[in-house]
Structure 1
């Protein structure tokens, strides 16, 4: 199965790592892990391989994070005296950044697959901040039609996230430090 899905897996790993050489290294790790792991029957071998690849990427990110933490401790202990002071990195952890990036990719693909009316209503409502009444006027349809477009779009996005395993992820639940709205929370812009 690895040979059959090799091109897809390497593209998947390259997209997550941003480096084709690192992706090849991770594919070799995947090969070794798949060859040495004893499992029972697997219903969907392709999905199993992609999940293993995803976990290898996360392990690599965690390893880098630990290494950076050790180096910071080393710098803070005074073993090395830099010319400028070393400050902690205020950016989100690499693992969270990777999860958010993957979730954004899933959402971007799902939005591209929406029918034109639902996509336009969603973009106007969620990304451009128009009210549903304003969208109805812009699109030349009733407010009820706008609500149906947005509901269908949100259902499609939730399904895409659920099918990708990101629906329950932390990235879905928090946006810029505040809870993300769901379509059922009753808030209208």
Structure 2
């Protein structure tokens, strides 16, 4: 056990160099500690450092194999769940929830825009949704640019208040 604590930093660097990930190396060193602590304390170990490095190497091999198995399992699941072409990835639960929330917000925005007075609604749609400039919107509606500015400001205030609740 004493050899482990003396070599811990070296073992960490040894594993980090091979995994290229300090967090994984830390996990492997922790696993190594657990394995060392489970060994028979009365065992006669002639070269404790060599044993530690051999055990660390074995843990690294196990880790790589486990990661490869997981990748193969995930790929097989994707092929099975998505279909043969693999063009559509399944949506994670969090992403699906975000999509539902986004659709609901869009529905609320569309309803709020539909409740605007007709001229204000038209100005908002032309300027904000179709991307026309205020001058182009004013020309299309036959009103002044100042009137378009007022319609847009009032629409934004209305929509912000409506969507806040």
Report the TM-score range of the alignment, normalised by the length of the smaller protein.
Answer: 0.3 to 0.5
TM-score, structure 1 normalization: 0.41
TM-score, structure 2 normalization: 0.47
Structure with more helix by fraction: 2
